């Protein structure tokens, strides 16, 4: 795995803690000739939360209950298994990184809904197929109104399921 990308104001923000593709997506290569046929490209949404369960399962160990992710080993083996259709992304504002607001996003296979809080307070909706650079915010598009409502509702469902409806506060860690 590599690190996620660092934005230099491509979307009006500077940092790597944003919900845009260049920050959310992380390159990952899997090399295990015993399990994986080489040269494949996977399309299911695998996340960093899936790495530990995958490594544990591959080592013959049972992943502990309560982990957010799940093993993607069957996917790299080419098996058709039920998999997530969306993924939650979240970042909470930090005092030492004031340029990045609190934001949450739900990324589907085609669309992404982003809710920014504390800076601009503007929701965002992107069609990742037609606009992979996320240059056109479709949140006010009448054509995409149903998608926006559906994804907004899904975001709050996932936030409720994951108990992330409260903004965490932390004491200062120095000057």
Residue 9 has pLDDT above 80, yes or no: no
Mean predicted confidence (pLDDT) in 28-38: 82
pTM: 0.86
Looking at residue 142, what is its pLDDT?
97
Looking at residue 119, what is its pLDDT?
66
For the chain, the 3-state helix, strand and coil shares in percent, each to the nearest 5, are: 20, 20, 60
What are the start-end ranges of the E strands in the chain? 7-8, 14-15, 86-91, 102-108, 111-117, 123-127
Residue 131, Ramachandran bin (φ over 0: left; ψ between -120 and 50: alpha; else beta): beta
Rounded Cα distance between 42 and 3, Å, is 19
In percent, the amount of the chain with pLDDT more than 90 equals 47
Q: Which residues pair with 103 in a beta bridge?
A: 91, 116
**pLDDT-based confidence at 43, cuts 50/70/90?**
confident
More confident residue, 83 or 36: 83
More confident residue, 167 or 175: 167
Q: How far, CA to CA in Å, does 118 sit from each of 15, 34, 91, 93, 98?
A: 16, 49, 12, 8, 10
Q: Name which of 26-30, 45-49, 104-108 the model is least confident about.
A: 26-30
More confident residue, 124 or 98: 124
Looking at residue 83, what is its pLDDT?
95
CB-based contact 123:148 (threshold 8 Å): yes
Looking at residue 175, what is its pLDDT?
65
Residue 23 has pLDDT above 80, yes or no: yes
- Fold that domain 85-161 belongs to in CATH: Arylsulfatase, C-terminal domain (3.30.1120)
| Model confidence pLDDT, tens digit, residues 115-150 | 988 766 789 999 999 999 999 999 999 999 999 999
């Amino acid at each position: 795995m590599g690190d996620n990308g660092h934005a230099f104001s491509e979307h009006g923000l500077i940092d790597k803690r944003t919900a845009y593709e260049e920050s959310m997506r992380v390159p990952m290569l899997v090399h295990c000739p015993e399990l994986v046929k080489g040269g494949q490209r996977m399309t299911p949404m695998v996340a960093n939360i899936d790495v530990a369960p995958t490594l544990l399962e591959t080592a013959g160990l049972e992943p502990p209950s309560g982990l957010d992710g799940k093993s993607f080993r069957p996917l790299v083996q080419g098996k058709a298994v039920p998999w997530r259709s969306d993924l939650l992304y979240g970042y909470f504002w930090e005092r030492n990184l004031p340029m990045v607001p609190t934001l949450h996003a739900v990324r589907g296979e085609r669309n992404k809904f982003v809710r920014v809080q504390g800076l601009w307070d503007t929701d965002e909706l992107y069609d990742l197929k037609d606009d992979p650079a996320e240059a056109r915010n479709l949140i006010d598009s009448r054509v995409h109104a149903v998608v926006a409502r559906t994804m907004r509702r899904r975001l709050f469902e996932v936030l409720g399921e994951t108990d992330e409806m409260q903004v965490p506060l932390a004491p200062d860690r120095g000057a």
